[in-house]
Amino acid sequence: MDTAKKNQVGAFLQNHAMVILMILVAIVVGILKPNFISGANFKNLSVNTAVRFIVALGVSGCLITKGTDLSAGRLVGLGACISGVLLQRIDYSDRFFPGLPDMPIIVALLIAVAVCSIFGIANGLIISYLKVPPFLTTLGMQIFVYGICLVFTGAKPIGGFKKSYTGFANIAFINGYLSVLVIVAFICGLYMWFLYNKTRHGKYMYAIGGNESAAEVAGINTKATLIRIYMLASIMYALAGFLWAAKSGGTSVNMGQGYELEAIAACTIGGVSVNGGVGRVSGILVGVLVFELLKISLQFMGVETSYTYIVQGLVIIIAVALDLRKYLAKK
């Protein structure tokens, strides 16, 4: 093998090290635990991947512009709680709004999206106009949204959803293997792919991630673009919360906790650079799928939940470290 091919192989292994490692782990678990490769596990994997893929799509735009969004998980929880209280059965004894008339599902979703969008717009305004770093802005928003959700729900679990709401999330095709959540996630992925690759918004987003100052000199309205990015991210979080609450049949303020870290890790594994300007929707899907495979593999191997957090944390650190190595190698 000549030097050029060796370099190509080395570059491929470095760029896809985490993906290759996770696939190998899944293969080993599949050999050791025959039930791992089963229809039931596939359905579980696909549904978990679908919801987290939607969250990761929202986070990806923030990362591509050298930002981040630590409020993602709490906005998922807020979207879930808003959807839940609006879609409880009329005859439910512990109804949150006793006098509220029966509400169409789509109206509840739009309300959840509208409320979460306010916080996304606020993130974009603070980051673009006040120049507060995205990390600090969204960290503060994470705590703020959590507090709002606690006050709103009284920290009580929310249940008693009407059948049309929970039934929607449990619709499945092809003998139950293709969940409607997967279809919704696929549509979201197609939309984001089009937005990122075929529109001016996508071009502006990558330009800002590459060099924000140069983008401004080129005439790009960076402030408006950043506001749209964070607003769109919050819409994705609201949708994910709406779907996950329906699938779970109940919700609480803690739904979505930690999803932002999983999304950032999945995006990084999938090739979205924390240094900005790089990222593809297909890579995000691969990253989410790989991260979910890791978690399910650990469960099948009987690893205690406490230790799975340690492994996930190490994966995040390694993924970011590898991304930084690629960035430094290009300089």
Q: What pLDDT does 292 receive? A: 86
pLDDT of residue 331 exceeding 60 = no
pLDDT of residue 275 exceeding 90 = no
pLDDT of residue 175 exceeding 90 = no
pLDDT above 70 as % of the chain? 92
Q: What pLDDT does 265 receive? A: 85
User: What confidence category does residue 119 fall into, taking pLDDT thresholds of 50, 70 and 90?
Assistant: very high
Q: What is the pLDDT of residues 20-30, one digit of tens each?
A: 777 787 788 87
**Residue found by looking up tokens 């802005």 in the block:** 137
Q: What pLDDT does 301 receive? A: 81
Distances (CA, A) of 272 to 66, 202, 245, 318: 10, 14, 28, 14
Q: What is the pLDDT of residues 72-88, one digit of tens each?
A: 999 999 999 999 999 99
Angstrom distance (rounded) from CA 95 to CA 310: 39
User: What confidence category does residue 321 fall into, taking pLDDT thresholds of 50, 70 and 90?
Assistant: confident
Q: Give the DSSP per-residue string, 25-76.
A: HHHHHHHH-GGGSSHHHHHHHHHHHHHHHHHHHHHHHHHHTT---TTHHHHH
Q: What is the pLDDT of residues 224-273, one digit of tens each?
A: 999 999 999 999 999 999 999 999 999 999 999 989 988 988 898 888 88
Q: What pLDDT does 281 receive? A: 93
Q: What pLDDT does 225 receive? A: 97
Tokens of 231: 């607003």
User: What confidence category does residue 152 fall into, taking pLDDT thresholds of 50, 70 and 90?
Assistant: very high
Rg for the chain, CA atoms, rounded: 20
Q: What is the pLDDT of residues 25-59, one digit of tens each?
A: 778 887 887 777 777 778 888 898 999 999 999 99
Secondary structure of residue 240 in the 3-state scheme: helix
* Mean of per-residue pLDDT scores for the chain: 88
pLDDT above 90 as % of the chain? 57
Task: Check: CB of residue 56 under 8 Å from CB of residue 263.
Answer: yes
Determine the average pLDDT of the residues in 262-290. Answer: 87
pTM of the model as a whole: 0.91
